[in-house]
Structure 1
Amino acid sequence: MTRHHVVDTAINAGCFANLVTALNVASLAEGLKAEGPFTVFAPTDEAFSKLPLGTVKALLENIPDLIKVLTYHVILDQKITAAEIGKTHSVTTSEGSTLTINTSDGVKVNDSNVVTPDVEADNGVFHIIDTVLIPESLGSI
């Protein structure tokens, strides 16, 4: 039986080329193929295009900052579904910072909207978001 981990699921969706490239450049893709479970807040290519011009290129050339940004989108050892997201107000990322969850009008993670929740993978779940999440430690990018 073929396993579809969160990275394969993102590749197959076809709208995460920037995310998949970033995961590979930062050598994080293999880690997300592990047993899990993982929860990933996955920004689309459109979300990456909303970043200021040159930001993606700069991140791809600065691996420590790229790793901070990517791990800020991942919750380790938990599979948090949309139903469970509504029961919490924050989650701690693998980067070490906290994401704020607001469910008063849809589901927001910090300033990003969850546009498609609960995309299932064998080792977790991801929620498609419309804005790249930037940890406060990096300031405004």
Structure 2
Amino acid sequence: MQHRLLTRAGAIAAAAGFAIALAACSPDEGTDEAAEENTSSEAMQEETTEEMPVSGEFGDACAAVPADGEGSFSGMADDPVATAASNNPVLSTLVTAVGEADLGDTLNSAENITVFAPTNDAFAAIPAADLEAVMADQDLLTSVLTYHVVGERIAPEDLAGTFETLQGDTLEVSGSGEAFTVNGSANVVCGNVQTANATVYIIDGVLMPA
């Protein structure tokens, strides 16, 4: 009798121990592992998305570029950069400045360059008297305009960094994805615009060499 009671007690204890162990590791542990896997997967997805190179033009100001014709993105891609800019109404003041500095042929004949192109509004933000003075001084105007040109094509994924300009000084681009600032003051408002010989980043400020 005593032997049967001991045996029964042992069986109950064993069953209780198994139930406790099951409760400790089954549903919660599985849920935790699944949650960790989901979190890890989401993190990897976000990282992959952040590292993906930008394809095509980007930026709010791209909406102001004509949808078709020579001044459109597809039209600009067929022409060298000075000619392409001359067909784009967003860049008409820049085109006038390039003409005053007699840089059109120089820019059109250059190979694989990057141009940071100020919008009309960027030039309009400069006091009229100062802008007129710069436009009237060809050497100064040439220095300012060539400071906006880098002697290599720069893709968006390589845009953050310090680059030597054709003027001789360096400019610095910070940011990532589709948000970039040049020299801490001018923002890229329409980027990765392709022409026959250049990659163009349209910016909302005029850059001044040191």
- The question of a shared fold, defined as TM-score above 0.5 by the shorter chain, is answered with yes
Among 188, 191, 200, the alignment partner of 1:114 is: 188
Which residue identity is paired with 1:55?
Answer: D
Decide whether the 8 Å contact of 1:90 with 1:98 is kept in 2. Answer: yes
Which protein is richer in strand relative to its size?
A: 1
- Deviation, structure 1 residue 38: 1.1
Which residue identity is paired with 2:108?
Answer: K
The size of the alignment, in residue pairs, is 132
- TM-score norm. by structure 1 comes to 0.88
Superposed structure 1 runs of 4+ greater than 3 Å apart: none
Q: Distance in 2 between matches of 1:122 and 1:5?
A: 5
Q: Distance in 2 between matches of 1:80 and 1:12?
A: 23
RMSD: 1.7
Q: Distance in 1 between matches of 2:173 and 2:155?
A: 13
Q: 1:97 to 1:35 in 2, by over 3 A?
A: closer
Among 89, 94, 100, the alignment partner of 1:14 is: 89
Q: Which runs of 5+ in 1 are unaligned?
A: 137-141
Percent identical residues: 35
Which protein is richer in helix relative to its size?
A: 2
What SS does the corresponding residue of 1:128 show, helix, strand or coil?
Answer: strand
- Deviation, structure 1 residue 3: 4.5
Q: Which runs of 5+ in 2 are unaligned?
A: 1-76
Aligned to 1:56: 131
- Deviation, structure 1 residue 53: 2.5
How is 1:26-41 mapped onto 2 (pairs within 5 angstroms)?
26-41=101-116
Mark the structure with the bigger radius of gyration.
2
Decide whether the 8 Å contact of 1:39 with 1:80 is kept in 2. Answer: yes
Aligned to 1:79: 153
Q: Deviations over 1:57-98 (max 9, x none)?
A: 11111111101100000012x111212203xx2101000001
Which residue identity is paired with 1:100?
Answer: E
Q: 1:38 to 1:112 in 2, by over 3 A?
A: same
Decide whether the 8 Å contact of 1:81 with 1:117 is kept in 2. Answer: no
